[in-house]
Structure 1
Amino acid sequence: MISLWRRRGKRAESEGSIVVEGARKATGGRQKNRVVLTMAVFFGIYGAIAGRLIYLGLQDPESGGGPESRVTASRPDIVDRNGEVLATDIKTASLFAEPRRIVDADEVIEKLSTVLPDIDVEQTYHKLKSGAGFVWLKRQLTPRQQAEIFQLGLPGIGFRTEKRRFYPAGATAAHIVGLTNIDNKGIAGLEKYIDDQGLADLQASGLAVAEDLKPVKLSIDLRVQHIVHDELAQGMERYHAIAAGAVVLNAKTGEVVAMASLPDYDPNNPYNAHEKDRLNRMSAGVYEMGSTIKSFTTAMALDSGLANLESRFDASRPLRIGRFTIKDFHGKGRVLTLPEVFIYSSNIGSAKEADMVGIEGHREFLKRLGLLDRMKTELPEVASPTEPKEWKKVHSITISFGHGMSTTPLQTAVGAAALMNGGKLIEPTFLPRTQAEADMVAEQVLKPSTVDQMRYLYRLNAEKGSGRRAEVPGFRVGGKTGTAEKVVNGRYSSDKRFNAFLAAFPMDDPQYVVLTIIDEPKPEKPGVGATAGLNAAPMLANIIRRSAVLLGVKPEFGHESGATVVSYQ
């Protein structure tokens, strides 16, 4: 019994040890799995953290949020017709802060103020205390400012390389080229036009890569542009004027070769660009263009077939229209031939030319030449002309000599080009255009015979009329003056004028139309007048004298035209 029990006991003991050992092995396996799992989780967490840190380390500092985090996009260079750079991208440093790393905001501001004295203390303090990951402090630093701030060794302060626009010509072509904002986006002039043509979309999609952007070539000739800008500045000083402007237009293609309006601004530092006196008067300002409009009145009379160069108009006495009396500034007190009406700038004669055509015909002619509609061109800054809501006879009469209708100087020049180039109205462009391309968009608005007669009258006026001071020997200039009294407090002022001179050259086959304007000029010296022939005309002559050869027009002195006035005594 005892031996049997012992044998059973040993067997039971043996079986019990097997059970316990199996349990221990199972438990140990589960514990090992837990350890491995735990280690895997920890490795995963730390691996994710490490990966994120590496990722963040490769990003720009501003990727933590805050203001515009996208790198400022590239823009194409803008060049003149000869390849001279008018606008280009340059690299610049901008100052940013990481508020979460700022220990003492007051100390940071105090030290930054030694380099940036104009920094907004209150605004900067709020930024530094915001707890944000990224904030801008100052965009587009100078290299010196960057170096001095770097030497301050401020934790949480850094620099980011950006792109900004640089304009090598400064203010010379400011109103044409335009400018960009601090994010390098076009906001005026051809800069804005380029954005609207698809650059903004490329920038938004990140495809505006500098290497892939071809330069944008303009029709502008920087050499002529400089001459125009210089002559306007001198004219404003010489005649004590509040503003001046000019345009040089290719009469055959509609290309704007040069255009300026003063006062202007420096696009590299456009702090005053939005001042109302610095608008582009040539395309964004509308004015009563005075007697330059008589060019269109006379052309209208000739084109209608109701008048010719032998036609006569009685200007012996003032003309009464209702309660208005129309008089001539320097009346001859006699019957005038059509050429005399033009060169003596007779208001009475011009009124009778308009009356001959009639109200509807008058308005239709001006509309045909584009003077009553908003001009279409690449430049965004274009104003709409003004005219009477309902044309009556008095409106037609006053508009015939330049009162009662306002238009832009640029489209006045465009309309005049049609009087000179064979009768074709061509929309102006600031981009290169071939003759074939111009012919495709041109609209025939005048008879060729009308153009021949207007060329004769323009040359005659430069030889014997009010345009004598616009003469440039060898270049056969012709043109028309315009002296318009400005409206002050609802009435025409006798001592405030808006003067213009509208010209073309060379008159045997006009290649270019030039228009100068000068606002509120004063007499150059005591005892001298201040009409357009005494200021706008000399300014225009200087522009042509200095730029004609650059424009490819060769002087000829052998066959100056011998135009003679047709007179009736």
Structure 2
Amino acid sequence: MRKLGILLSGKRAASKPAGRSQTPLEFDGVRKAQGAQAKNRIIIAIACFGLFYTAIGARLVQYGMRSPETVSSISRADQLLISRPDLLDRNGEVLATDIRTVSLFAEPNKIVDPDEAIELLATVLPDLDMRGIHRKLSSNSRFQWLRRQLTPKQQSQILALGIPGIGFRPETRRFYPGGPTASHVVGHVNIDNKGIAGMEKYVDGQGLGDLAAAGLTVNEDLKPVRLSLDLRVQHVLRDELAAAMDRYKAIAAAGVVLNVNTGEVIGMSSLPDYDPNNPVEALQKDRLNRMSAGTYEMGSTFKAFTTAMALDSGLVKMSDSFDARGAIRIGGFTIKDFHGKNRILSVPEIFIYSSNIGTARMADLVGIDGHKEFLTRLGLLTRMQTELPEVAMPNQPAEWKKINSITISFGHGVSTTPLQTAVAAAALMNGGKLIEPTFLPRTAEQAATVAVPVIEPSTSQNMRYLMKLNATKGSGGSGSRAAVDGFRVGGKTGTAEKVVDGRYSSAVRFNAFLSAFPIDNPEYVVLVVIDEPKPEEGMRSATAGLNAAPTVGAIIRRSAAFLGVRPRFGNDMQALSLSY
């Protein structure tokens, strides 16, 4: 019975109600079990985070070891910051410089709603090509340019729109403070800041373009490139050419100021021109650089070269005379004078009266081969060598015959660039040395190393005398309207008839005045050409002596001080015949 009571007592103990409080031993067991479970959960969470960041780190290492082009469709920002050296004039005035700007791009794969993005962008850039932009934003590409070279205001306004997938990349933009003042010489760049015309293209050709392609000019401050131009003279030249175009209702005008002793181009302009800040204007047909990229029959200015040729050959002397009483008939053509004197003329008279007949007879005396060789020697029949890329090749007959030599003697039958004409004239003025032109600074010592003797010094001295005589007031010469009080100006006019429908037309002319000053010891050649001028009001004619010559006079009058040429006056305020 006692054993049975103990067993019953044990059963009652095992079946105690659940709500009864646990003993300390039982509670400690439960707590340990829950703690172990929480610890396992923490370990699992740490392991998961560790694996996640390990994967990210491994991916970053993988990207870091691969080329940028593989991991991104967008070039690095600094690759777009390709620097160009400033272009300066000879006095340090800035002609071209870089400014920082930004360009707008899109990552189409991140664009949520292309239509909404376009509507927002149009509020800042209303001239966007909506259809083209929509096509770009709807593509699956990772990068698309939307607009290059924004203004700071436009960038700020677009940033405020907060469009996902739209960003900006820093770039450089070329800025030309002088606008069109020296556009044909300075040139311009394309949207990627690469030189494509003028001296900008020359600078790239000296290695800058290759360095930029290799990424070696990134964000570097390059040494400025100084040009031979004097911005003050350049402004005067362009201003007077523009005035001449307006005054004589011409379709174009161009000119150059050239240092005869160094070959430096101090000023050169061709109108109509363009603003290099808006280079699309350069594509217009009439924006050609007529000074170096256009070839023309230079008319009677060529008589200076024919006369120099005759004198330098030794076959003609200044005291010689030639029969200009009758026209020359050859090969079905009749050669006559514009204002014929109908008498025998001396060499100086042939020059100042611009006699076609007398000039032709001098060329005939030298002969065809001698004539061609002399013009080649002066560089008038070959392509000119200089830094400017836009240089045309002269045109000449495939075979020189007597009729060719005769017409070429007075400027018909050969087309050359006006700049070449000025360079050849400099050789007639500087003692007989042909110096190729340069748009970079050059000292007299440096010029001496490239100078090539082409005529005798005595011939040069005679040509100075003839040029001075032709531009002296009261001499009857065609260049008297170029005279400037206080400065000894010499020159030769050229009025060339242009070809219309295959024939020369006396109503359409290409005029030129080729001058040098101070003529007793010339320092500068000034050449002006005016294309298709009309008679000035009150005038019947539009010859070079009436328009190109006075334009040269105005240029010399305004620019001489900048060139360092001082006027000489006597006590009676009249110019003195002194050697400079």
- Do the structures match in fold with TM over 0.5? yes
Using the TM superposition, give the Cα deviation of residue 155 of structure 1 relative to its aligned residue in structure 2, in angstroms.
1.4
1:319 maps to: 328
Give distance in 2, aligned partners of 1:52 and 1:118: 43
1:487 maps to: 499
1:175-209 alpha-carbon deviations (Å, 9 max, x no partner)? 00100001100000000000000111221222214
Using the TM superposition, give the Cα deviation of residue 131 of structure 1 relative to its aligned residue in structure 2, in angstroms.
1.8
The answer as to 2:476 corresponding to 1:453 is no
Using the TM superposition, give the Cα deviation of residue 39 of structure 1 relative to its aligned residue in structure 2, in angstroms.
8.6
Aligned 1:6-21 pairs, distance under 5 A: none
Aligned 1:369-380 pairs, distance under 5 A: 369-380=378-389
Give distance in 2, aligned partners of 1:149 and 1:246: 46
Secondary structure of residue in 2 paired with 1:406: coil
**Match of 1:269, as an amino acid?**
N
2:149 aligns with one of 127, 131, 140? 140
**Match of 2:73, as an amino acid?**
G
Moved more, 273-282 or 66-75: 66-75
2:205 maps to: 196
Q: State the identity %.
A: 66
Using the TM superposition, give the Cα deviation of residue 52 of structure 1 relative to its aligned residue in structure 2, in angstroms.
7.3
The answer as to 2:412 corresponding to 1:400 is no
CA contact (8 A) 1:299 1:454 kept: yes
CA contact (8 A) 2:115 2:134 kept: yes
1:523 maps to: 535
Secondary structure of residue in 1 paired with 2:140: coil
Aligned 1:177-326 pairs, distance under 5 A: 177-326=186-335
CA contact (8 A) 2:241 2:255 kept: yes
The answer as to 2:552 corresponding to 1:544 is no
Give distance in 1, aligned partners of 2:364 and 2:329: 13
Using the TM superposition, give the Cα deviation of residue 212 of structure 1 relative to its aligned residue in structure 2, in angstroms.
4.2
Secondary structure of residue in 2 paired with 1:272: helix
Moved more, 549-558 or 244-253: 549-558
1:79 aligns with one of 69, 88, 95? 88
1:421 maps to: 430
**Match of 2:456, as an amino acid?**
K
1:98-124 alpha-carbon deviations (Å, 9 max, x no partner)? 111111111111222222222112211
Secondary structure of residue in 2 paired with 1:137: strand
Change (3 A) 1:346 1:188: same
1:415-471 alpha-carbon deviations (Å, 9 max, x no partner)? 000000000000000000011100000000000110010000000000120001100
2:102 maps to: 93
The answer as to 2:72 corresponding to 1:64 is yes
Change (3 A) 1:166 1:252: same
Give distance in 2, aligned partners of 1:396 and 1:238: 36
Secondary structure of residue in 2 paired with 1:281: coil
Give distance in 1, aligned partners of 2:503 and 2:152: 55
Give distance in 2, aligned partners of 1:373 and 1:54: 57
The answer as to 2:134 corresponding to 1:122 is no
Using the TM superposition, give the Cα deviation of residue 560 of structure 1 relative to its aligned residue in structure 2, in angstroms.
3.5
Secondary structure of residue in 1 paired with 2:283: coil
**Match of 1:141, as an amino acid?**
L
Give distance in 1, aligned partners of 2:117 and 2:169: 18
2:18 maps to: none
CA contact (8 A) 2:520 2:578 kept: no
1:466 maps to: 478
1:66-97 alpha-carbon deviations (Å, 9 max, x no partner)? 68983141000000000000000001121111
RMSD of aligned alpha carbons: 2.4
The answer as to 2:58 corresponding to 1:48 is yes
1:285-314 alpha-carbon deviations (Å, 9 max, x no partner)? 000000000000000000001111111011
1:235-277 alpha-carbon deviations (Å, 9 max, x no partner)? 1111101100000000000000000000010001122211121
Aligned 1:352-371 pairs, distance under 5 A: 352-371=361-380
Change (3 A) 1:54 1:305: closer
Give distance in 1, aligned partners of 2:348 and 2:534: 30
Change (3 A) 1:481 1:67: farther
**Match of 1:549, as an amino acid?**
A
Moved more, 122-131 or 445-454: 122-131
CA contact (8 A) 1:66 1:132 kept: no
Change (3 A) 1:150 1:42: closer
The answer as to 2:564 corresponding to 1:555 is no
Secondary structure of residue in 2 paired with 1:107: helix
1:121-172 alpha-carbon deviations (Å, 9 max, x no partner)? 2211111111222111000112222222222221111122210100011100
Moved more, 130-139 or 287-296: 130-139
2:515 aligns with one of 503, 509, 529? 503
Secondary structure of residue in 2 paired with 1:523: coil
CA contact (8 A) 1:67 1:136 kept: no
Give distance in 1, aligned partners of 2:329 and 2:152: 70
Change (3 A) 1:392 1:162: same
Secondary structure of residue in 1 paired with 2:507: strand
* 5+ long unaligned stretches in structure 1: 1-33, 564-569
CA contact (8 A) 1:76 1:215 kept: yes
* 5+ long unaligned stretches in structure 2: 1-43
1:39-84 alpha-carbon deviations (Å, 9 max, x no partner)? 976553222345679999xx99x98316898314100000000000
2:33 maps to: none
**Match of 1:45, as an amino acid?**
A
1:175 maps to: 184
- Aligned residues between the structures: 527
Change (3 A) 1:63 1:407: farther
Using the TM superposition, give the Cα deviation of residue 500 of structure 1 relative to its aligned residue in structure 2, in angstroms.
0.4
Using the TM superposition, give the Cα deviation of residue 329 of structure 1 relative to its aligned residue in structure 2, in angstroms.
0.3
Moved more, 106-115 or 296-305: 106-115
CA contact (8 A) 2:81 2:219 kept: no
Give distance in 1, aligned partners of 2:417 and 2:424: 11
Change (3 A) 1:53 1:322: closer
**Match of 2:503, as an amino acid?**
R
Give distance in 2, aligned partners of 1:345 and 1:320: 19
Secondary structure of residue in 1 paired with 2:555: helix
CA contact (8 A) 2:179 2:276 kept: yes
Change (3 A) 1:54 1:67: closer
Using the TM superposition, give the Cα deviation of residue 529 of structure 1 relative to its aligned residue in structure 2, in angstroms.
1.4
Change (3 A) 1:474 1:210: farther
**Match of 2:301, as an amino acid?**
T
Give distance in 2, aligned partners of 1:179 and 1:444: 36
Give distance in 1, aligned partners of 2:91 and 2:65: 47
Give distance in 2, aligned partners of 1:128 and 1:207: 33
1:218-248 alpha-carbon deviations (Å, 9 max, x no partner)? 0000000000011111111111011000000
Q: TM-score, normalised by structure 1?
A: 0.89
Give distance in 2, aligned partners of 1:384 and 1:390: 17
Using the TM superposition, give the Cα deviation of residue 496 of structure 1 relative to its aligned residue in structure 2, in angstroms.
0.8
Change (3 A) 1:50 1:208: closer
CA contact (8 A) 1:72 1:183 kept: no
Change (3 A) 1:122 1:392: same
Using the TM superposition, give the Cα deviation of residue 214 of structure 1 relative to its aligned residue in structure 2, in angstroms.
0.4
Q: TM-score, normalised by structure 2?
A: 0.87
Moved more, 303-312 or 550-559: 550-559
CA contact (8 A) 1:64 1:134 kept: no
